[in-house]
Structure 1
Amino acid sequence: MKTLNLNTLLIASSFLLLTMACDDALEQTSSGENIVPAKFKVDVPETLTTSPANGRTKNGLSKDELNGNEIYEALSAYIKIGEASAEIIEAIMTSIGNIGIHGVIFIAYESDDDGRVKNLTVTENSDFEGKTYQYQLTVTDADSESNDDGGKAMQVFWNLDPIEGIAILKPYNIDRVKDIDAGDAIYRIDYSEVETDGYEAHMIVSISNLPLANPLDDPYSIDNLKMFVGKTGDVVDVYGNSNHPNASFFTSDAGFTWSFVASGIDSEDIGVAEVGLPPNNLDETDRTVILEDYAIKTVFSDQISTVWPNLDQNLIDQYLTNTEAPGFFAKNGFVQGGTSPSADYDPLVLRIQDLTPYKPLDIKNLTVEFK
């Protein structure tokens, strides 16, 4: 079992320093309070992102260990990938905000990360995807601006009252040293504090083109992911899919999505999740199909019966440990599947019935792009 390597997500640690020579600012047309939002994400309850008890977070599963525990624990790791990308983007924005940006500005600076010149601009009244935002911030790798991607490292579009916006990040153009293997990976966060569908705040995390591991080393690595996180009071709902092009279980069939819905209460350290394992080419939006027809237990039972039609039922039952839905989580992560540990979980069990993952085929084909 391997540890989850988040190098391609932890792409901006030294970029956070953002030691820009503000004397190089060419233009700043307005003054007043800092216009860069300090908050740009919704926190996912730790119960749904906690690593297994042994302290290792997995990016691969072993066919010798495939059971409900492994699938649900892997889900925690995949949700954490989405949250980690949002944390990075928010941290970068916080660091940019520490410069004290009050309006239109242009700054050229030499990155402490890769020693390359980066250009940072802030403009007003920017249109993106049919909506006008008060501000747009763009960071580019100066020497790459003639490339097909324009050398874009980061774009942020936002409104201030209430805060809502979109942030897009390409690690490779931020740090050509640390993230030289990040390739065309791009992260996007849609964040809003506009009350929507009963949520006080919500975000949508989209990730495309993460570099895949060698299938012989890790057949379960992710290339694309999309998840919604919505908060109301102390309750947080999460749903989405992670795409695993090389994943297989007991048969030779490959290409699955971890399709999930989850809900947690942070103050009570409890969470509930339901996982489906549909093929990643499934062109279907119906919750029943995605989460029930392709439930963990159903997929595993069908594949085991296909490969070992005469296998002793006791052995099958061992493989199917904790494959029942839903999965229950507590402070230290996954607890058990199927049977609720206590009545405290009942409201969350009901809550996830109203949540549906995205269409698996859409996540397989997901592409995140800059303006």
Structure 2
Amino acid sequence: MNTSKLNTLLAVLLLLLVTVSCDDEIESTSGGESIVPEKFAVDIPESLTNSPAGGRIRSGLSADELNGNEIYEGLSSYIKIGEASAEIIEAIMQGISDIGISGVIFIAYESDEDGRVKNLTVTENSTFEDKTYAYELTVTDADSEGNDDGGKAMQVFWNLEPIEGIAILKPFNIDRLKDADAGDAIYRIDYSEVETMGYDAHMIVSIANLPLANPLEDPYSVDNLKMFVGKTGDLVDVYGNSNHPNASFFTTDSGFNWAFVASGIDGEDMGVAEVGLPPNDLDETDRAVLLEDYAIQTVFSDQISATWPNLGQNLIDQYLLNTEAPGFFNEDGFVQGGTSPSSDYDPLVERIQDLVPYNPLDIKNLTVEFK
């Protein structure tokens, strides 16, 4: 699912909220201000999400065209998928807040989108994953509540002071028509303003079971992704992995993981990222292995040598264009690899040295489940 489909989903969910707000079957146990937090995501600098690839590495790309630009620009696209998912959930939270939910409620309504009955409930003092939250909101597709997933479309657990919580979303159960191809795709956002990880606020985006594109048309599509985003002041750190089961480069080897770390400055057009391309079944957590042993330049060099052992250095250099680490970004996205455009990037280069991606095997096997 690319960013354009995610934006379509956002529009659908906002329409759903309008429908709910106009429903006359709301039953609430208390009055007063909304108990739903409006903020539930960390913004990522545009320098790290702006990609001319339009949501993925160019389709129909041949080995002769592949170089570091494609890998770094692809990274921006994959980070954007995670950010767009968080924005969707935050928009839902804001929409629900606008309804003015102030306590325990039950809403049953017929969706204008797929014509199916949806149930929305808010309860208090709910426990999830051994933690008790002040509130839980659950939306289900009523006729699917007997299914293995309970027909759950969305489930949110949260506390208000300070704000922290977990939001889980399954598009297929929100709209069976427009999201018929979403299948078992499911998103989860863990958001916290509790300063337990050294940041003013942080979020963890987990996405599982995105439908893969036809590998002949887009071998680099993503099925699973996990990404941490932490913000302190105007500094934003990002690290994580995206899983690409059909990805290949210069050999017949397929199944790779974009393992990445990045830092940017909110409101300024600068970002720095380092990317590794380990096999997606690699069971490893060491930063040096993920980002140095499997650095873009190393992986490309090894595969080029294996495929074309007698290739001239001039052609090798074309393939290795901008494969050096780190990659530098501005308001237009990726700029260049290896050499910093200016000393202004130096603090960000230093920050990414302390960031480590997740284990690629864990991302390949990533699951997201409702309560």
Q: CA deviation at 1:168?
A: 0.1
Consecutive unaligned residues in structure 1, runs of 5 or more: none
TM alignment of 1:151-300, pairs within 5 A: 151-300=151-300
The answer on whether the counterparts of 1:14 and 1:112 sit within 8 Å (CA) in structure 2 is: no
**Residue deviations 1:310-334, cap 9 Å, x none?**
0001100011000000000011111
Q: Does 1:95 align with 2:95?
A: yes
The answer on whether the counterparts of 2:110 and 2:117 sit within 8 Å (CA) in structure 1 is: yes
> Which AA in structure 1 matches 2:167?
A
> Which AA in structure 2 matches 1:23?
D
Q: CA deviation at 1:14?
A: 2.5
The answer on whether the counterparts of 2:6 and 2:84 sit within 8 Å (CA) in structure 1 is: no
Q: Does 1:47 align with 2:43?
A: no
Aligned to 1:6: 4
Aligned to 2:56: 58
Q: Does 1:305 align with 2:310?
A: no
For residue 298 of structure 2, give the secondary structure of its aligned residue in structure 1. helix
> Which AA in structure 1 matches 2:313?
Q
TM alignment of 1:131-170, pairs within 5 A: 131-170=131-170
**Residue deviations 1:344-367, cap 9 Å, x none?**
000000000000000000000000
Distance between the aligned counterparts of 1:129 and 1:60, measured in 2? 40
Q: CA deviation at 1:8?
A: 5.2
4+ residue segments displaced more than 6 Å: none
Percent identity (aligned): 78
Distance between the aligned counterparts of 2:222 and 2:98, measured in 1? 33
Q: CA deviation at 1:13?
A: 1.0
Q: CA deviation at 1:10?
A: 3.7
The answer on whether the counterparts of 1:12 and 1:174 sit within 8 Å (CA) in structure 2 is: no
Q: 1:5 to 1:164 in 2, by over 3 A?
A: closer
> Which AA in structure 2 matches 1:229?
V
Distance between the aligned counterparts of 1:266 and 1:347, measured in 2? 14
Aligned to 2:74: 74
Q: CA deviation at 1:15?
A: 2.2
For residue 180 of structure 2, give the secondary structure of its aligned residue in structure 1. coil
Aligned to 1:366: 366
Q: CA deviation at 1:283?
A: 0.4
For residue 183 of structure 2, give the secondary structure of its aligned residue in structure 1. coil
Aligned to 1:24: 25
Q: CA deviation at 1:306?
A: 0.2
Which structure shows the higher helix fraction? 2
The answer on whether the counterparts of 2:57 and 2:70 sit within 8 Å (CA) in structure 1 is: no
How many residue pairs get aligned? The number is 366
The answer on whether the counterparts of 2:42 and 2:202 sit within 8 Å (CA) in structure 1 is: yes
> Which AA in structure 2 matches 1:73?
E
Aligned to 2:13: 15
Q: CA deviation at 1:250?
A: 0.5
Q: TM-score, normalised by structure 2?
A: 0.96
Aligned to 1:330: 330
What CA RMSD, in Å, does the superposition of the two structures yield over aligned residues? 1.4
Q: TM-score, normalised by structure 1?
A: 0.96
Distance between the aligned counterparts of 1:354 and 1:93, measured in 2? 33
Q: Report the more deviating stretch, 55-64 or 74-83.
A: 55-64
> Which AA in structure 2 matches 1:207?
I
Q: Does 1:84 align with 2:84?
A: yes
Q: CA deviation at 1:169?
A: 0.1
For residue 64 of structure 1, give the secondary structure of its aligned residue in structure 2. helix
**Residue deviations 1:110-160, cap 9 Å, x none?**
112111110000000000001000000000001111111110000000000
